[in-house]
Structure 1
Amino acid sequence: MLPSPPLSVARRAATAAASAAAHHLLPSVNSLILEPSVPSPASPRRRIRLMPLGERPPLAPLPPHGRSFAVVAGDGGVKAEVPALVVVSFYRFADFPDHADFRRPLKELCEELRVSGGIILAPEGINGSLCGIPEAVEKVLNFIQADDRLKGLRMIQSPVTPEDEAIHHGHTSHSPVGAGEDAPFRWDHVRVKLKKEIVSFGDPDVMPTKTVGKYIKPKDWNALISDPDTVVIDVRNMYEIRIGKFNRAVDPCTKSFREFPSWVDNQFQLAESDSPSSVNSDTVTEGPGKNLNSSEPKELPRVAMYCTGGIRCEKASSFLLSKGFKEVYHLEGGILKYLEEIPEAESLWEGECFVFDKRVSVEHGLSQGTHKLCYGCKQPISDEDMESPKWEYGVSCPYCFATKSEEEKERARARQRQFETWGVIGGPDKGRSPKRLESVYEVEENKQSPSSV
């Protein structure tokens, strides 16, 4: 038997074959719609049929990524100069009580078009990230926005590296090239989940569909947060803030987004009996977890908040407005849009931005960051962290070493040995079929569900 070629050679071969394989990945149709078939008593099913060209609705074009390429769609389809793959994150708050009925047709369409990633459906709307050939992703987004309640998706597009491209095409075309640690998602499938919220906050009275703060464009953000009278709040979790934040931003030191309401109440001394017109507040100084309280009462301050892609700020700003804050602003498109549009020389961003996929972090221009992921705790780690004696590949890092028992560490070591025995090093999703991984991923996602796209 001939020896297997090196992975780099296989990846180059997959890249060379990607163009030809792409023609087999997509159905040769101009558009798709869903038509109900005969439903079963337990759950209605739908099937995909072709839509005549003359009835095709206009495609919702993907947002252009100015630094590297633009997706251009028209009667002739997507232009040839666009890359083979794109990653698009999107969300939309809406009154969506029948969200469960949307799951099956959406998942079937994604599978038919070989689009991968993850989508959350809830009574309050939709939240997701998808990767695939631009034409395929465009069709999925077009299908989503065919529902009037979901029109106007807020979208952010990120580039995909040539290596990721080869991994994706190799995996979806049943090539022996498996998904590597640099692939943004598990490329071989899409998850469409039903949840109570598209981003967990825990307060049913907070409704971004009714009221939210004022959106601030990235080009106007620097001036706002440079004003000393503006309190800048990072609404992300502390493990995200640890690797990057805006200058002067306050770190609430939360472990999950559900802790944010309590932090606001404590820091601004808010309670149900308090008058929303005034609280005890103080000038913010740099550093995480600074107390904003003082002995002299004054009006609630002007607040500028931000998060990864903007979705958490929708709820956070709505919550602050319900508490009596009058001036609440949030960065439109989040950190990702800021890093895409603002040149590094003019930027007030410091560090890297954590993202909830296998890229782990991104820098200015949305280029790949330097951080990796600890598979023991799912936190970002730097090269310096990996020099620590508490770092053990696939087991622990300086941030979780003390929280794990020896029994837990030994189980992690046994799991890592299994990966290495299979010839797959780097994470529990490499080289294994989706069915074998289903139960593993269900457990891991229950431990830590992304609170943002």
Structure 2
Amino acid sequence: MQMRRSSAFMIRYRSPPLLILGMLSSSTSNLNPNPKLPLTMKPTSQNPQASHLFSNSNRISQPMTLSTRCFTGSSDPIPIVPKIQSTDPKPELDDPNLLVVVSFYKFADFPDHAELRKPLKELCQELRVSGGIILAPEGINGSICGTRATVERVLAFIQSDNRLKGLRQIESPVSPEEEAIHHGHSSSSPLAAGEDAPFRWDHVRVKLKTEIVTLGMPSVSPVEKVGKYVKPREWNTLISDPDTVVIDVRNNYETRIGKFKGAVDPFTTAFREFPSWVDDQFQLEGTGGNQSELEIKDSNEITKEAESTKKKLPKQVAMYCTGGIRCEKASSFLLSKGFKEVYHLEGGILKYLEEVPKTESLWEGECFVFDKRVSVEHGLEQGTFKLCYGCKQPVSDADMEAHEWEYGVTCPHCYSSKSEEEKERARARQRQFENWGIIGGPDKGRRPTSKADIVNKNFSQSSV
């Protein structure tokens, strides 16, 4: 089967992820002797040809080889033997080779954070733990992938510093794409890092920043003051109280696909816009309703009208985000602005979807996540949304039917905001990905090679 498939085919048929991302070596090109047969088609009496493609676990039953280049610098392949689904309904939790993904964070007074970078990175590389970690004077934020034993060793090392004990952790299932990339495929997807999970599934990255989640106000410290944590099982009672104002502190591309019933959406494009939104919405201490008559007279009519529309501080505020880190910092900000009763969902939406049954849930839609699942539903099952690699926003099946949709380039949410130059750069990036299976390839940092050059190069090599 040919490895270079059209983008339309990749999106419409949901081929096995390894084939889509170009992760299989050429030795696996004979997995499907009938290239016209969609790879998602299950064997039936009408399609007996498909039976050899599926084991009982509905996965490809032949061994695959993946490169280890991103961890070791070599290109020696390592065998990846697909797991066979056990007839035992209980998962094999004791399997030492099972991968886990753990997202974690902790706000702490951590001025010497830079000293942790080198030993932490070296330990992750030694244990083959992939993902990314941010260190800042206000604490640590990260998401890592590895076997349970190796991940626990990394987390134990981090918490050996007393200031970082009690990490807030969320464990997520490992998708086939994450598993394959963890085993050695760097840059096989242009998925970018997000605010809640600053990582890429190829190697470990440990970064030094001024904040572990960017509010743009390093002086706001949850270590000094923070809102009250609310357990997922108690969340429904709180947000059903008519005296509670529920605020979603995520970005507009996240709230677009799902939020809690009745929640206020600030329509921010980045977390750093949240303080300005609060200033515009509420009569804060020292502003708005506290202005003197002289100050009001000196202000123009527009300012007067804006101040008159501001709301008084609500009796109590409940905030939430994906994993809990943004609303925790936002709660500290609101308390510094005079809000009295501030609550936030412990563990974020992810913990809520994991613990609260769908029949009892007040969540509507799906939750955007910063990994290759793109979105999740109750039980943390993978959702229905895909990702536009042009703007890193979630797209629905309807979005992909629109004329603005171009795989790897644009979608209806970013088409009008991108210049032709930006679109052409995205097309060049997509060509690199389709030609080489990675972003960059032999042409990284150079003008993209034309198809004619590739043909001539291949011909000259075959003639040697």
Normalized against structure 2, the TM-score is what?
A: 0.69
Match of 1:250 among 245, 248, 264: 264
Match of 2:399 among 379, 385, 390: 385
Kindly tell me the number of residue pairs found equivalent between the two proteins: 358
Is the Cα contact below 8 Å between 1:171 and 1:187 reproduced in 2? no
In structure 1, stretches of 5+ residues that fail to align are 26-67, 72-78, 277-290, 438-453
Deviations 1:38-83 (A, max 9, x none): xxxxxxxxxxxxxxxxxxxxxxxxxxxxxx9899xxxxxxx62577
Match of 1:328 among 312, 318, 342: 342
| Alignment of structure 1 residues 213-224 onto 2, 5 Å | 213-224=227-238
| Alignment of structure 1 residues 299-310 onto 2, 5 Å | 300-310=314-324
Structure 2 residue matching 1:266: 3-state secondary structure: helix
**Compared with structure 1, are the counterparts of its residues 259 and 364 closer, same or farther at alpha carbon in structure 2 (3 Å cutoff)?**
same
Distance of 1:193 and 1:142 partners within structure 2:
19
**Compared with structure 1, are the counterparts of its residues 217 and 110 closer, same or farther at alpha carbon in structure 2 (3 Å cutoff)?**
same
Shift of 1:149: 0.6
1:444 maps to what in 2?
Answer: none
Shift of 1:127: 0.1
Match of 1:319 among 319, 328, 333: 333
Computed over aligned residues only, the root mean square deviation of the Cα atoms, in angstroms, reads 3.5
Distance of 1:128 and 1:69 partners within structure 2:
30
1:399 maps to what in 2?
Answer: 413
Is the Cα contact below 8 Å between 1:213 and 1:328 reproduced in 2? yes
Structure 1 residue matching 2:425: 3-state secondary structure: helix
Match of 1:144 among 152, 155, 158: 158
Shift of 1:356: 1.3
Greater Rg, structure 1 or structure 2? Answer: 2
Match of 1:350 among 364, 367, 390: 364
One-letter code aligned to 2:212: I
1:451 maps to what in 2?
Answer: none
Distance of 2:137 and 2:314 partners within structure 1:
32
Deviations 1:214-233 (A, max 9, x none): 00000010111111211000
**Compared with structure 1, are the counterparts of its residues 408 and 168 closer, same or farther at alpha carbon in structure 2 (3 Å cutoff)?**
closer
**Compared with structure 1, are the counterparts of its residues 70 and 90 closer, same or farther at alpha carbon in structure 2 (3 Å cutoff)?**
farther
| Alignment of structure 1 residues 371-450 onto 2, 5 Å | 371-422=385-436, 424=437, 428=439
Is the Cα contact below 8 Å between 1:14 and 1:167 reproduced in 2? no
Shift of 1:436: 6.3
| Alignment of structure 1 residues 245-324 onto 2, 5 Å | 245-270=259-284, 272-273=286-287, 300-324=314-338
Is the Cα contact below 8 Å between 2:210 and 2:218 reproduced in 1? no
Shift of 1:271: 5.7
Distance of 2:433 and 2:178 partners within structure 1:
24
Structure 1 residue matching 2:411: 3-state secondary structure: coil
**Compared with structure 1, are the counterparts of its residues 375 and 298 closer, same or farther at alpha carbon in structure 2 (3 Å cutoff)?**
closer
One-letter code aligned to 1:171: G
In structure 2, stretches of 5+ residues that fail to align are 1-25, 33-38, 40-52, 54-58, 73-88, 291-304, 446-464
Shift of 1:156: 0.4
**Compared with structure 1, are the counterparts of its residues 310 and 186 closer, same or farther at alpha carbon in structure 2 (3 Å cutoff)?**
closer
One-letter code aligned to 2:202: D
1:104 maps to what in 2?
Answer: 118
Mapped pair 1:167 → 2:180: yes
Distance of 1:411 and 1:103 partners within structure 2:
34
Moved more, 350-359 or 134-143: 350-359
One-letter code aligned to 2:417: T
Is the Cα contact below 8 Å between 2:281 and 2:311 reproduced in 1? no
Shift of 1:368: 1.1
Structure 1 residue matching 2:106: 3-state secondary structure: strand
Shift of 1:190: 0.7
One-letter code aligned to 2:331: S
Structure 1 residue matching 2:112: 3-state secondary structure: coil
Distance of 2:329 and 2:373 partners within structure 1:
26
Distance of 1:322 and 1:170 partners within structure 2:
45
Normalized against structure 1, the TM-score is what?
A: 0.71
| Alignment of structure 1 residues 3-152 onto 2, 5 Å | 4-6=29-31, 12-14=61-63, 80=94, 84-152=98-166
